[in-house]
Amino acid sequence: MYQLKMAGQFDEPSSELRVDARRNQKRILLAAARLLADDPAASIQRIADEAQLARPTVYRRYPTREALIDAIAQEAIGEFATALDEAGAAGEDTASTLGRLIRALARIGADYPTVLQSAHAHDTASLVDRVDELIARGQAQGVIRADVTSDVLRHALFGALSASLRLARDPSARGLTADEIGAQVAAIIVDGLRSKPAQTAKPDTYEP
Protein backbone atom coordinates (compact mmCIF):
# COMPACT_ATOMS: atom_id res chain seq x y z
CA MET A 1 0.00 0.00 0.00
CA TYR A 2 1.42 3.38 -1.02
CA GLN A 3 1.56 6.29 1.39
CA LEU A 4 0.70 9.62 -0.21
CA LYS A 5 2.70 12.68 0.80
CA MET A 6 1.43 16.22 0.95
CA ALA A 7 2.76 18.69 -1.59
CA GLY A 8 6.18 19.98 -0.58
CA GLN A 9 6.87 16.99 1.68
CA PHE A 10 9.96 15.03 0.68
CA ASP A 11 11.95 12.18 2.08
CA GLU A 12 15.18 13.21 3.76
CA PRO A 13 18.19 12.02 1.76
CA SER A 14 19.55 8.79 3.15
CA SER A 15 22.76 8.86 5.15
CA GLU A 16 24.38 6.81 2.40
CA LEU A 17 23.50 9.45 -0.20
CA ARG A 18 24.78 12.22 2.05
CA VAL A 19 28.08 10.41 2.57
CA ASP A 20 28.41 9.81 -1.17
CA ALA A 21 27.68 13.47 -1.94
CA ARG A 22 30.23 14.61 0.62
CA ARG A 23 32.81 12.21 -0.81
CA ASN A 24 32.26 13.61 -4.31
CA GLN A 25 32.49 17.16 -3.00
CA LYS A 26 35.82 16.39 -1.34
CA ARG A 27 37.17 14.78 -4.51
CA ILE A 28 36.21 17.83 -6.57
CA LEU A 29 37.77 20.31 -4.14
CA LEU A 30 41.02 18.38 -3.75
CA ALA A 31 41.37 17.89 -7.50
CA ALA A 32 40.59 21.54 -8.22
CA ALA A 33 43.01 22.80 -5.57
CA ARG A 34 45.86 20.69 -6.97
CA LEU A 35 45.26 21.64 -10.59
CA LEU A 36 44.60 25.33 -10.02
CA ALA A 37 47.78 25.67 -7.95
CA ASP A 38 49.84 24.66 -10.99
CA ASP A 39 47.54 26.01 -13.71
CA PRO A 40 45.06 28.75 -12.69
CA ALA A 41 43.39 28.40 -16.10
CA ALA A 42 42.65 24.67 -15.68
CA SER A 43 39.28 23.84 -17.21
CA ILE A 44 36.32 22.35 -15.37
CA GLN A 45 36.68 19.31 -17.64
CA ARG A 46 40.26 18.76 -16.43
CA ILE A 47 39.10 19.12 -12.84
CA ALA A 48 36.30 16.62 -13.41
CA ASP A 49 38.73 14.18 -15.03
CA GLU A 50 41.17 14.56 -12.13
CA ALA A 51 38.35 13.92 -9.65
CA GLN A 52 37.14 10.98 -11.78
CA LEU A 53 33.67 12.44 -11.99
CA ALA A 54 31.46 13.64 -14.83
CA ARG A 55 31.65 17.32 -15.72
CA PRO A 56 27.90 17.87 -15.03
CA THR A 57 28.50 16.64 -11.47
CA VAL A 58 31.04 19.41 -10.95
CA TYR A 59 28.81 22.03 -12.57
CA ARG A 60 25.81 21.04 -10.46
CA ARG A 61 27.75 21.81 -7.31
CA TYR A 62 29.84 24.71 -8.59
CA PRO A 63 28.20 26.49 -11.54
CA THR A 64 31.03 29.05 -11.79
CA ARG A 65 34.79 29.02 -11.32
CA GLU A 66 34.39 31.64 -8.60
CA ALA A 67 32.03 29.38 -6.66
CA LEU A 68 34.55 26.54 -6.89
CA ILE A 69 37.48 28.68 -5.74
CA ASP A 70 35.42 30.03 -2.84
CA ALA A 71 34.42 26.48 -1.84
CA ILE A 72 38.09 25.42 -1.80
CA ALA A 73 38.92 28.32 0.51
CA GLN A 74 36.00 27.58 2.84
CA GLU A 75 36.95 23.90 3.04
CA ALA A 76 40.55 24.72 3.93
CA ILE A 77 39.53 27.37 6.46
CA GLY A 78 37.12 24.90 8.08
CA GLU A 79 39.88 22.31 8.39
CA PHE A 80 42.22 24.92 9.87
CA ALA A 81 39.59 25.81 12.49
CA THR A 82 39.28 22.12 13.37
CA ALA A 83 43.07 21.84 13.62
CA LEU A 84 43.10 24.79 16.03
CA ASP A 85 40.49 23.07 18.20
CA GLU A 86 42.37 19.76 18.20
CA ALA A 87 45.76 21.37 18.89
CA GLY A 88 44.34 23.29 21.83
CA ALA A 89 42.67 20.17 23.23
CA ALA A 90 45.93 18.21 23.35
CA GLY A 91 46.87 19.76 26.71
CA GLU A 92 50.45 20.62 25.75
CA ASP A 93 52.40 23.78 26.50
CA THR A 94 51.77 26.68 24.14
CA ALA A 95 54.91 26.22 22.05
CA SER A 96 54.14 22.53 21.52
CA THR A 97 50.54 23.43 20.64
CA LEU A 98 51.87 25.81 18.00
CA GLY A 99 54.10 23.06 16.63
CA ARG A 100 51.15 20.68 16.41
CA LEU A 101 49.19 23.39 14.60
CA ILE A 102 52.00 23.97 12.09
CA ARG A 103 52.16 20.26 11.28
CA ALA A 104 48.39 20.18 10.72
CA LEU A 105 48.58 23.32 8.59
CA ALA A 106 51.22 21.65 6.41
CA ARG A 107 48.82 18.81 5.63
CA ILE A 108 46.02 21.28 4.87
CA GLY A 109 48.35 23.41 2.76
CA ALA A 110 49.43 20.37 0.76
CA ASP A 111 45.78 19.55 0.03
CA TYR A 112 44.78 23.14 -0.75
CA PRO A 113 47.93 24.93 -1.97
CA THR A 114 46.00 27.76 -3.61
CA VAL A 115 44.65 28.83 -0.22
CA LEU A 116 48.02 28.79 1.53
CA GLN A 117 49.56 30.79 -1.30
CA SER A 118 46.91 33.51 -0.94
CA ALA A 119 45.80 33.26 2.68
CA HIS A 120 45.64 37.06 2.92
CA ALA A 121 42.87 37.12 0.28
CA HIS A 122 40.43 35.04 2.32
CA ASP A 123 38.31 35.81 5.36
CA THR A 124 40.58 34.35 8.00
CA ALA A 125 40.26 37.13 10.60
CA SER A 126 38.75 34.87 13.26
CA LEU A 127 41.49 32.26 12.77
CA VAL A 128 44.20 34.93 12.87
CA ASP A 129 42.74 36.21 16.14
CA ARG A 130 42.86 32.71 17.63
CA VAL A 131 46.49 32.24 16.60
CA ASP A 132 47.34 35.66 18.04
CA GLU A 133 45.67 34.64 21.31
CA LEU A 134 47.74 31.45 21.36
CA ILE A 135 50.96 33.41 20.85
CA ALA A 136 50.02 36.02 23.47
CA ARG A 137 49.21 33.27 25.98
CA GLY A 138 52.58 31.64 25.37
CA GLN A 139 54.36 34.96 25.82
CA ALA A 140 52.47 35.66 29.04
CA GLN A 141 53.48 32.22 30.32
CA GLY A 142 57.10 32.86 29.40
CA VAL A 143 57.09 29.91 26.98
CA ILE A 144 57.32 31.97 23.77
CA ARG A 145 59.79 34.80 23.23
CA ALA A 146 58.29 38.20 23.94
CA ASP A 147 60.32 39.98 21.26
CA VAL A 148 58.53 38.30 18.32
CA THR A 149 55.30 39.92 17.10
CA SER A 150 52.40 37.84 15.86
CA ASP A 151 52.44 39.63 12.48
CA VAL A 152 56.05 38.64 11.84
CA LEU A 153 55.38 35.09 13.00
CA ARG A 154 52.36 34.65 10.72
CA HIS A 155 54.22 35.87 7.65
CA ALA A 156 57.23 33.71 8.49
CA LEU A 157 55.02 30.69 9.10
CA PHE A 158 52.89 30.95 5.96
CA GLY A 159 55.88 31.92 3.84
CA ALA A 160 58.00 29.01 5.07
CA LEU A 161 55.19 26.49 4.63
CA SER A 162 54.13 27.76 1.22
CA ALA A 163 57.69 27.69 -0.11
CA SER A 164 58.57 24.36 1.50
CA LEU A 165 55.39 22.59 0.39
CA ARG A 166 56.33 23.18 -3.23
CA LEU A 167 58.86 20.41 -2.64
CA ALA A 168 55.99 17.96 -2.15
CA ARG A 169 54.79 18.72 -5.71
CA ASP A 170 58.21 19.08 -7.31
CA PRO A 171 59.18 15.90 -9.18
CA SER A 172 62.85 16.93 -9.07
CA ALA A 173 62.80 17.08 -5.25
CA ARG A 174 63.66 14.04 -3.17
CA GLY A 175 60.04 13.24 -2.40
CA LEU A 176 59.44 14.88 0.96
CA THR A 177 55.90 14.35 2.22
CA ALA A 178 53.70 17.07 3.69
CA ASP A 179 54.09 15.47 7.12
CA GLU A 180 57.89 15.55 6.86
CA ILE A 181 57.87 19.16 5.67
CA GLY A 182 55.46 20.18 8.43
CA ALA A 183 57.59 18.51 11.09
CA GLN A 184 60.75 20.24 9.89
CA VAL A 185 59.15 23.70 9.60
CA ALA A 186 57.54 23.24 13.03
CA ALA A 187 60.88 22.27 14.57
CA ILE A 188 62.61 25.34 13.13
CA ILE A 189 59.90 27.83 14.09
CA VAL A 190 59.05 26.42 17.52
CA ASP A 191 62.71 26.10 18.50
CA GLY A 192 63.29 29.70 17.46
CA LEU A 193 60.25 30.90 19.40
CA ARG A 194 60.87 29.16 22.70
CA SER A 195 62.07 31.43 25.46
CA LYS A 196 65.64 30.68 26.34
CA PRO A 197 66.69 30.68 29.99
CA ALA A 198 68.64 33.77 30.89
CA GLN A 199 72.32 33.08 31.09
CA THR A 200 74.19 34.41 34.09
CA ALA A 201 77.24 36.37 33.06
CA LYS A 202 80.44 34.80 34.27
CA PRO A 203 82.51 37.07 36.50
CA ASP A 204 85.71 38.33 35.01
CA THR A 205 88.69 36.34 36.15
CA TYR A 206 92.20 37.59 36.38
CA GLU A 207 94.91 35.45 34.95
CA PRO A 208 98.45 36.60 35.71
Q: Report the predicted TM-score, pTM, of the whole model to 2 decimal places.
A: 0.75
Q: What is the 3-state secondary structure (H, E, C) of 180-204?
A: HHHHHHHHHHHHHHECCCCCCCCCC
Q: What is the pLDDT of residue 38?
A: 86
Q: What is the pLDDT of residue 122?
A: 61
Asked whether the beta carbons of 127 and 110 are under 8 A apart, the reply is no
Q: What is the pLDDT of residue 148?
A: 86
Q: What is the pLDDT of residue 37?
A: 87
Cα separation, 108 vs 85, whole angstroms: 15
Q: Is the C-alpha dihedral spanning 74, 75, 78, 79 positive or negative?
A: negative
Task: Kindly list the averaged pLDDT for each block of 10 residues, start to end, along the chain of length 208.
Answer: 42 66 92 91 94 93 90 91 88 88 91 72 77 89 88 84 80 77 91 72 51
Q: What is the pLDDT of residue 7?
A: 41
Cα angle, residue 173 at apex, residues 96 and 191 outer, rounded to 5°: 20
Cα separation, 49 vs 51, whole angstroms: 5
Domains and CATH numbers, the chain: 18-63 (1.10.10), 72-193 (1.10.357.10)
